Amino acid sequence: MAVARSRFGEFLVASGALKPEELAAALRHQRTSQKRLEEVLYELGILPEERLVELVSRFTGFPVFSFDEVELTPELQQLVPVALIRRYDVYPVRADEGELYLACRGEVPSGVVENLRRMTGKNVRLVLMRPSELEELRKFFLQGEGEGPVSEGGEGGSAADVLDAILAKAVHLGASDVHLDPEPDRIQVRFRIDGFLRPVDQFPLSLHSALVSRIKVLGRMNIAEKRSPQDGGFTFRPEGGRTTNVRVSVLPSVRGEKVVMRLLPSQERILELKDLGMEGELLEKFTRLLALPHGLILVTGPTGSGKTFTLYAALKHLRRPEVNIITVEDPVELQMEGITQVQVDVTSRKLTFSDALRSILRQDPDVIMVGEIRDRETAQLSLQAALTGHLVLSTLHTNDAVSAVERLTDMGVERYLIAAALRGVLAQRLVRTICPRCRVPVRPPLGEFLALGLSPEDEGEFFAGKGCVYCHQSGYRGRTGIFELLVVDEELQKLIAGGADAISLKEAVAGKMKTMREDGIEKARRGITTLEEVIRVTVSM
């Protein structure tokens, strides 16, 4: 039942799918990597996965199994031992009355199939699936079981090995944060994926001290200090993967020190503006604002709404050899080439935002990014810089775009200065996107229509994810932004300078500015997200 590698290669050449020199290159790479030929062909991009699976099917006679046909029940998950899944890369994907469907890449020893037949009492049918789909199945079946040292439950593996395995798994699953929570009898490991925390592993409490000490050493923290909060950071690179910046926070608790590690992508993964969810007219208006020679542009929203990543995408859009871009941040979350980044030290007050801004203005900048406007002095300096020939980008914590004016006023900034310098405010939230593998048309509950001010008779089509292995049964996979953009024109400048409140400003832009809720509803109609998500992130508005 195995795909004989040499014969499979000959088949690919004979069928015209590969040139002899392509096969030779793949075989050379295979000898050094010790991977299957079909894996090498996929990883090197010689054959796309759809074509590869089709060819393996023709060669082996195994049918191609659709991801939509996968039915993972609790009973199914008990049929095949995890050790067998890990060793032979096979996954139970469906069980009918007398048959067990086993997804594979094409290579399964006949003894494995026979043993499974005896163990389950079912006829084992081998089926093929795409490499990316098999990877998702691997995550599903081995999540919580761990890989490498993690599977040992901390026994026999060093703290360094366990930490590497935890971080590698977190990167692999696309987690933004890793939580290590000390419990009375264990360490609970949780990952935040698409904005939601999910338990993934547990370790003996005896490992806690060594694990925290390892993290402190890497993060250049004091390992002897256990009673005060500490912050630090380091870089991590999984085998064969990209470098990830890890920002660490250690907090003493009654059960011991709790650790949270935020995983930040390297420069190569900074998104383009269009990849953030900005589209059409809003994207066009925002890029026009970025093209201005001077003025203040604000990005607003609560913590975790993606403001900083929007600023980084904006800087990536502006980055050119002839443009001097300087940032002042607390902390520097992503390091970017071609940009000068300054990290402030608020704790010891050796270098505050205002101190850094004053120095930056003597560095002949074209574009200045201030990580966050937190006080009157920073606000005043940012606005003055915007009025003296610099494009200034920064963030504020406000619920919507219009409220940014009121927030600056509350800080003590003069309204005439705001009216003269402010060019635009982008407010945003992050919503989870519907899993593309299990998306189905739905009729949302009446309450969701009413909560968003929609008519119950609305005939538009909406969608939701029913839950599958690809999305870990959540119905969602990934996140995108919903936005509203306030462009400060002459009319708004007069209103701001004249002391107009937030209600008057909202009335002035009504009908001229698409709100975040309207952007979210539009994305829900297009099957990108759900009405439930739009309500969740805009409930306070």
Highest mean pLDDT of the ranges 34-48, 149-163, 296-310:
296-310
User: In this predicted structure, which of 27-41, 248-262, 432-446, 505-519 has the lowest mean pLDDT?
Assistant: 27-41
The total number of structural domains that make up the chain: 3
Alpha carbons within 13 angstroms on the beta-carbon side of residue 143 total: 21
User: Do 201 and 122 share a structural domain?
Assistant: no
Q: Flag whether pLDDT at 266 surpasses 70.
A: no
For the residues 181-204, what does the mean pLDDT come to? Answer: 92
96 token code pair: 């009918």
Handedness of CA 70, 75, 79, 84 (dihedral sign): positive
In angstroms, the Cα distances linking 362 to 143, 322, 358, 390, 399 are 52, 18, 7, 12, 34
Q: How far apart are CA 189 and CA 91, in angstroms?
A: 25
Peptide bond into 436 cis (omega under 30): no
pLDDT interval class at 498 (50, 70, 90): very high
Highest mean pLDDT of the ranges 264-273, 451-460, 507-516:
507-516
Q: How far apart are CA 268 and CA 281, in angstroms?
A: 27
For the residues 284-290, what does the mean pLDDT come to? Answer: 97
Highest mean pLDDT of the ranges 17-21, 283-287, 345-349:
283-287
User: Do 171 and 246 share a structural domain?
Assistant: yes
Query: Residue type at 10?
Result: E
Is 504 a domain residue? yes
Q: Flag whether pLDDT at 288 surpasses 80.
A: yes
Handedness of CA 263, 265, 266, 270 (dihedral sign): negative
H/E stretch holding 416 reads helix 415-421
Domain end position, chosen among 112, 127, 142: 127
User: Do 337 and 382 share a structural domain?
Assistant: yes
Per the prediction, the chain carries an average pLDDT of 88
User: Do 349 and 496 share a structural domain?
Assistant: yes
Is 278 a domain residue? yes
Which residue spans within 237-386 are E strands per DSSP? 244-253, 256-265, 295-300, 325-329, 340-343, 367-370
pLDDT at 346: 60
Cα 30 to the center of its chain, rounded Å: 32
Is 524 a domain residue? no
Runs of H (alpha helix) within 1-130: 5-14, 20-33, 37-43, 49-60, 74-77, 82-88, 110-120
The CATH number assigned to the domain holding 502 equals 3.40.50.300
pLDDT interval class at 75 (50, 70, 90): confident
Enter the pTM of the model: 0.75
pLDDT interval class at 348 (50, 70, 90): low
Is 229 a domain residue? yes
Q: Is beta strand 123-128 parallel, antiparallel or unpaired with respect to 422-434?
A: unpaired
In angstroms, the Cα distances linking 78 to 151, 178, 431, 493 are 18, 28, 34, 66
User: Do 243 and 120 share a structural domain?
Assistant: no
- Express as a percent the part of the chain with pLDDT over 90: 54
SS3 state of residue 273: helix
User: Do 209 and 181 share a structural domain?
Assistant: yes
Please name every residue paired with 202 in a beta bridge, in sequence order, or none if there are none.
188
CB atoms within 10 A of CB 521: 23
Query: Residue type at 452?
Result: L
pLDDT interval class at 306 (50, 70, 90): very high
The residue range of the domain holding 105 is 62-127
The CATH number assigned to the domain holding 82 equals 3.30.300
In angstroms, the Cα distances linking 245 to 219, 235, 276, 311 are 11, 5, 20, 18
Q: How far apart are CA 522 and CA 280, in angstroms?
A: 12
Domain end position, chosen among 218, 245, 264: 264
User: Do 485 and 343 share a structural domain?
Assistant: yes
What DSSP assignment string belongs to 418-482? HHHHEEEEEEEEEEEEEPTTSEEEE---HHHHHHTT--TT----EEEE---GGGTTSSEEEEEEE
In angstroms, the Cα distances linking 175 to 198, 285, 394 are 10, 32, 26
User: Do 278 and 397 share a structural domain?
Assistant: yes
User: Do 167 and 120 share a structural domain?
Assistant: no
What DSSP assignment string belongs to 10-39? HHHHHTTSS-HHHHHHHHHHHHHH---HHH
Q: What is the pLDDT of residues 132-174, one digit of tens each?
A: 888 878 877 775 454 433 335 434 457 888 899 899 889 888 8
The CATH number assigned to the domain holding 236 equals 3.30.450.90
H/E stretch holding 338 reads none
pLDDT at 174: 86
Q: How far apart are CA 318 and CA 222, in angstroms?
A: 39
User: Do 337 and 198 share a structural domain?
Assistant: no
Bin 349: left if φ > 0, else alpha if -120 < ψ < 50, else beta. Answer: left
For the residues 454-467, what does the mean pLDDT come to? Answer: 85
CB atoms within 10 A of CB 191: 22
Is 148 a domain residue? no
Is 153 a domain residue? no
Is 54 a domain residue? no
For the residues 313-324, what does the mean pLDDT come to? Answer: 95
For the residues 164-190, what does the mean pLDDT come to? Answer: 92
Q: Is beta strand 123-128 parallel, antiparallel or unpaired with respect to 99-104?
A: parallel
Which residue spans within 280-421 are E strands per DSSP? 295-300, 325-329, 340-343, 367-370, 391-396
Is 75 a domain residue? yes
User: Do 418 and 344 share a structural domain?
Assistant: yes
Contact 181, 201 (CB under 8 A): no
| Closest among 470, 433, 477 to 66, alpha carbons compared | 470
pLDDT at 143: 57
Q: What is the pLDDT of residues 94-141, one digit of tens each?
A: 988 889 999 998 878 888 899 899 888 899 999 999 888 888 788 777
Q: What is the pLDDT of residues 416-446, one digit of tens each?
A: 999 999 999 999 999 999 999 899 999 999 8
Cβ neighbors of 114 (< 8 A, separation 6 or more) are none
pLDDT at 349: 64
User: Do 195 and 98 share a structural domain?
Assistant: no
| Closest among 210, 143, 219, 145 to 469, alpha carbons compared | 143
Q: How far apart are CA 86 and CA 140, in angstroms?
A: 12
